Amino acid sequence: MGYACEKVEQLTLFLENRPGILADLCAHMAESGVNIRATTTLEGRDCGVVRLVVDKTEDAKATLTNAGVAFTTTECLALRMPNHPGGFAGAARVLSLAGVNIDYIYASTIAGAQSALGIFGVSDLDKALSLNWSETR
């Protein structure tokens, strides 16, 4: 399995840091038929930052607005990578050689899966999308 990329819209939420807030958010998304494809959280003492990539961005925005949740949007690179030693290294090398900086990433896979999904905040999304990912090893 090789590399494949797409542009995705990431939602960045600002939530009170307390038990149950994330469970409530996920329940609202599920009730709206929104699947969370990727997420990461950054803790703060009183407020946490949650980044989400979902399958139905407009529905998620409406759900967040109706719930009174503050959010921003950012375009990111979603990259499917091979799940083997060097899979992430190949992606990082391709971006590096093209002069594209990785500002942040969140990624995951499970044992035995052929691929991993990485969400990359990059310095030049258009350039990253234009790279020839099919030849990356």
Domain coordinates in residue numbering, the chain: 9-74, 76-135
Q: For residue 12, what are the CA distances in angstroms to 85, 88, 93, 130, 136?
A: 30, 24, 27, 25, 30
* Distance between CA atoms of residues 7 and 92, nearest Å: 17
Q: What angle do CA 7, 12, 17 make, to 5 degrees?
A: 150
pLDDT at res. 116: 93
Q: pTM for the complete prediction?
A: 0.89
**What CA–CA distance (Å, rounded) separates 129 from 58?**
22
Q: Is CATH 3.30.2130.10 what the domain over 9-74 is classified as, yes or no?
A: yes
Give me the residue label for tokens 């990431």.
10
Q: Are 69 and 100 in contact (CB under 8 A)?
A: no
| pLDDT value of residue 81 | 94
Q: Which residues of the chain have pLDDT under 50?
A: none
Predicted confidence at residue 43, as pLDDT, reads: 77
* Identity of residue 122: V
Please give the pLDDT value at position 1. 66
Separation CA 18–CA 27 (nearest Å) = 16
Neighbours of 89 (CB within 10 A): 11
Residue 65 phi/psi, 5° resolution?
-60, -45
Per-residue model confidence (pLDDT) at position 29: 94
Q: Residue 136's pLDDT is what?
A: 72
The reported pLDDT for the residue numbered 17 is 83
> Is 82 in contact with 119 (CB distance < 8 Å)?
no
Q: What is the DSSP letter of 68?
A: T
Class level of CATH domain 76-135 = alpha beta
